[in-house]
Chain A
Amino acid sequence: MSVDADTVRRIARLARIRVTEDEVAAYEGELNAILGFVEQLGEVDVEGVEPMTSVAPMQLRRREDAVTDGGYAEKIVANAPLSEDNFFMVPKVVE
């Protein structure tokens, strides 16, 4: 499988990364080089093999469904590029 310029534009859109037309061609070559390299995975016989979901044989731990943290909104927004009254400020989303 290989990607073309349109696919590069579509992936960039999905990834929310703006790419210029000059960059599209470069990415097309680079992504195809990587995809060409990983293509060999198709050779491996994986009949009856389960995909790995956890590298260590473990059960995910559960904890009590209770509030254990919070109450410091000012810390949460402390690093925001733009905030007001402990809210994150963004451009208008809904008209």
Chain B
Amino acid sequence: MTDLTRLSLKALRDGLARKEFTALEATDAYLAAIDAGNGKLNAYVAVTADKARDMAKASDERIGKGEARPLEGVPLGVKDLFATEGVHTQAASRILEGFKPEYESSVTSNLWRDGAVMLGKLNMDEFAMGSSNESSFYGPVINPWRGESGEDLVPGGSSGGSAAAVSAWLCAGATATDTGGSIRQPAAFTGTVGIKPTYGRCSRWGIIAYASSLDQAGPLARTVEDSAIMLKSMSGFDPKDSTSADLQVPDFAAAVERGVKGLTIGVPREYRIEGMPAEIERLWQQGLEWLKAEGATVRDISLPHTNYALPAYYVVSPAEASSNLARYDGVRYGLRVSGKDITDMYEMTRAEGFGREVKRRVMIGTYVLSAGYYDAYYVQAQKVRTLIKKDFEDAFNAGVDAILTPATPSAAFRIADEEMKVDLVKMYLNDIFTVTVNMAGLPGIAVPAGKDGQGLPLGLQLIGKPFDEETLFAAGRVIEKSAALDLAPAQWW
């Protein structure tokens, strides 16, 4: 029998519907793959085998009765940031030690409503703060891809567990979240497809908050079509999220083969950053050629405030984080470290419960919001954010349908990279091409488009108009099809 874990989500779903195999067989195949590989990859922080088998059996019953739903029997992984009822939910942080929510996030509820099966919870950077998955309390995730030296590489972050699990066939698809690039950068590092939809497309209810004005959920999957199928189920209006968009969710999968004929693709000159590796530049040019060959027009554009997006992000996101993370005080959930009085208890709990990167960001946020600095940092950053958004609006108003950029400035780097460790800003620069999209609330997709000199995957990013994810799926598919890459990492785990 074929290895069910190697099928695309679409092929798996269709095979289940045709009763070529059962949901329980597919789930067992994934559980066996997790059992065999997770010790080395560290992608899952909790595996819910019993729950998965129960859900799979229920799916088999529905398929038997001819009542299959859009994701019936498809085994998925869930980022540890999503609240899952009665199941480990800690944002990969010690401060939420033992937390098992009494409720289910809206996005995961939507997936279970559509018949998906939960395999477990996926590792991530603590509270989604990071670009390498090294800030997790549960230790780093290892990228299934390796370069020539065979050294361990990071899978990117913060959705590193999601990306590694999808790439290494430990789930058919995974939920992820993206605040500054946390879906798209790991997708690029692992040869997977990741889309951050428009702000408001997926409900944030039940997702542990990092920076609420930037956080969006989205899928990580092995193909553009798979990501379109998953996003359709994850999306939708939710009265429990005051910023949820009350809009119809299109049939994203129907847009995948639409092509790019007649579209105008913008190429922002400000993304041609100093010191960009030649192979990234070549990849970008190649992507434009592919789109042109399929009938798109390419146009140079300017997004003049691009350089200020990352600094503005490092004011706005820590500010919102310092406020959102104030709730972890040792009283209502998670870790409590006792002290001589209540303030002592708060301070000790937060000192021991949060990791270093989280503490750093909470402190930066506290500083930029403090009396005397609020206008100079926070208000200034929010004004710059208005200008960043206007740059994109001007480009779209001038007739651009989507924008093509590199997804990341490099391929995956080493675990415990020395340069990144000594230079915080260098680590932050990983998000230089992705963060503008969050600042402007736009949709962005990362699609594998090539490989570097060592055979590591590289991605391109497409940025779209608000609520026009369909164009991104169509254009992303053209890149996927033109690149025709072998995206199976050599199995060492």
Interface residues, chain A, with chain B CB atoms under 8 Å away? 1, 3, 7-8, 11-12, 14-19, 27, 30-31, 33-35, 37-42, 44, 46, 49-56, 58, 60-61, 63, 72, 75-82, 88, 90-93
Contacts and interface: CB of A to CB of B under 8 A. Distances in A.
Contact of A37 (B311, B334, B373): B311
A34 B347 contact: no
B350 A31 contact: no
Query: Main SS of the interface on chain B?
Result: helix
Contact of B336 (A49, A75, A78, A81): A81
B305 A17 contact: no
Contacts of A33: 423-425
Contacts of A50: 383, 386
Contacts of B326: 16
Contact of A79 (B100, B329, B439): B100
B383 A17 contact: no
Interface in B215-262: 239, 242-243, 245-246
A78 B102 contact: yes
A27 B334 CA distance: 26
Interface stretch (B7-15, B281-289, B358-366, B404-412): B358-366
B311 A31 contact: no
A18 B342 contact: no
Which 9 A-B pairs give the minimum distances between C-beta atoms? A55-B441, A51-B382, A81-B336, A79-B333, A18-B351, A18-B347, A46-B383, A75-B102, A38-B311
A80 B351 contact: no
B339 interface: yes
Contacts of A63: 239
Interface residues of B, number: 74
B170 interface: no
Contact of B366 (A15, A54, A58): A15
Contacts of A17: 347, 350-351, 354, 359, 362-363
A55 B363 contact: no
A10 to B, nearest CB: 8
Interface in B89-111: 98-102
A49 B384 CA distance: 8
B477 interface: no
Contact of B363 (A1, A31, A61): A31
Given A12-B363, A15-B350, A56-B200, A41 B312 contact: yes
A11 B314 contact: no
A59 B373 CA distance: 29
Contacts, number: 166
A16 to B, nearest CB: 4
B364 A34 contact: yes
Contacts of A49: 383, 386-387
Interface of B: 98-102, 198-200, 213-214, 239, 242-243, 245-246, 305, 307-308, 310-312, 314-315, 322, 326, 329-336, 338-339, 341-343, 345-348, 350-351, 354, 359-360, 362-364, 366-367, 370, 373, 376-377, 379-387, 389, 423-425, 428, 439-441, 466
Contacts of B350: 15-18
Contact of A90 (B102, B342, B351): B342
Nearest to A69: B240
Given A15-B363, A41-B312, A79-B98, A56 B383 contact: no
Contact of B424 (A30, A60, A91): A30
- Chain A CB count within 10 A is highest, among B242, B366, B373, B439, for B366
Given A15-B322, A30-B360, A50-B383, 11 more contacts: A11-B370, A16-B346, A33-B425, A41-B381, A44-B383, A52-B382, A54-B213, A79-B98, A80-B332, A91-B341, A93-B342
